[in-house]
């Protein structure tokens, strides 16, 4: 009995020492998987966000390319580490987004007429602008266009994009230059070449058949499917 009493008296000492060494945390101080998840969420909340984005301004850039570019600028009401580019929408199918700067979108200047462009930030702040693309294409210059052909051309790139080129066929001799065609595609992602409006490109998708069409100012069009 005396030995058993001594053994029981030692038990609280052992437990207390284990708790002090952090071997067996107990009660409210114990870390659980739930606590770890909440901690991760707190870190995520500190990453760059758009919560202080209060306004978007849209600016038409000077004419330096065949594309009329509109640039979005964010105005913040407080500190910000940055906000992703807006989602661009338009009432015109000719709208293109600058792949090198997603803060810009625009239209081929040859499209003519008016076009409305809307930028919507991730926090749903929106801004719209209507731009004048100038007079419609010169019908006189394009009256002798007899047809349009679109073909895939090779490119020295590892991007996997399909490069396309449009050419006009004429009834007779060409006395006046006809402006570039309007490009459309059966899916999103078509990009116009800012230096050659007769060329465009789109990412290749082996699981989806894609049709790209080029329409001349006189209404004639050509297309290619791949």
User: What band does 114 get if pLDDT is binned at 50, 70 and 90?
Assistant: confident
Three-class SS state of 3: helix
Residues of the chain with pLDDT > 90, as a percent, come to 40
Are the CB atoms for 226 and 202 separated by under 8 Å? no
Res 157 pLDDT > 70: no
Summarize the confidence of residues 26-46 as an average pLDDT: 29
Summarize the confidence of residues 62-76 as an average pLDDT: 88
Are the CB atoms for 137 and 112 separated by under 8 Å? yes
Summarize the confidence of residues 169-178 as an average pLDDT: 73
Antiparallel, parallel or unpaired: β 211-215 and 182-185:
antiparallel
Res 221 pLDDT > 70: yes
Q: Which of 39-43, 121-125, 155-159, 186-190 has the lowest mean pLDDT?
A: 39-43
Question: How many CB atoms sit inside 10 A of residue 83's CB?
Answer: 19
Give the position of tokens 């067996």: 24
Summarize the confidence of residues 5-29 as an average pLDDT: 40
User: What band does 27 get if pLDDT is binned at 50, 70 and 90?
Assistant: very low
User: What band does 139 get if pLDDT is binned at 50, 70 and 90?
Assistant: low
Whole-number average pLDDT of the chain: 77
Q: What is the pLDDT of residue 23?
A: 38
27: left (phi over 0), alpha (psi -120 to 50) or beta: left
219: left (phi over 0), alpha (psi -120 to 50) or beta: left
Nearest by Cα to 137 from 197, 186, 194: 197
Res 137 pLDDT > 60: no
Three-class SS state of 156: coil
Which part of the chain has CATH 2.60.40?
53-132, 139-225
User: What band does 51 get if pLDDT is binned at 50, 70 and 90?
Assistant: confident
Res 18 pLDDT > 50: no
Q: What is the pLDDT of residue 225?
A: 93
What CATH number was assigned to the domain covering residues 139-225? 2.60.40
Using CA atoms, how far apart are residues 145 and 223, in angstroms rounded to an integer?
Answer: 16
Q: What is the pLDDT of residue 20?
A: 40
Write the class of the CATH domain 53-132: mainly beta
Residues of the chain with pLDDT > 70, as a percent, come to 72
Q: What is the pLDDT of residue 93?
A: 87
Are the CB atoms for 85 and 103 separated by under 8 Å? yes
**pTM for the whole structure:** 0.45
């Amino acid at each position: 009995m005396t030995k058993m009493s001594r053994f029981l008296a030692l038990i609280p000492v052992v437990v207390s020492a284990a708790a002090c060494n952090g071997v067996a945390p107990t009660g409210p101080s114990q870390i659980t998987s739930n606590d770890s998840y909440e901690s991760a969420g707190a870190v995520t909340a500190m990453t760059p966000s758009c919560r202080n984005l209060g306004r978007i301004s849209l600016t038409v850039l000077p004419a330096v390319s065949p594309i009329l570019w509109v640039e979005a600028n964010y105005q913040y009401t407080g500190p910000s580490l940055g906000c992703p580019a807006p989602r661009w929408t338009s009432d015109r199918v000719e709208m293109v987004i600058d792949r090198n700067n997603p803060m810009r979108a625009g239209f081929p200047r040859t499209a003519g007429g008016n076009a409305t462009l809307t930028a919507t930030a991730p926090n749903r702040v929106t801004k719209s602008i209507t731009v004048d693309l100038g007079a419609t294409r010169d019908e006189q210059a394009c009256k002798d266009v007899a047809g349009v052909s679109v073909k895939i051309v090779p490119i020295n790139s590892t991007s996997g994009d399909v490069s396309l080129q449009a050419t006009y066929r004429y009834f007779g001799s060409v006395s006046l230059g006809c402006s570039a065609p309007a490009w459309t595609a059966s899916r999103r992602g078509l990009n116009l070449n800012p230096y050659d409006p007769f060329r465009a490109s789109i990412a290749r998708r082996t699981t989806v058949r894609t049709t790209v069409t080029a329409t001349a100012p006189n209404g004639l069009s050509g297309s290619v499917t791949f």
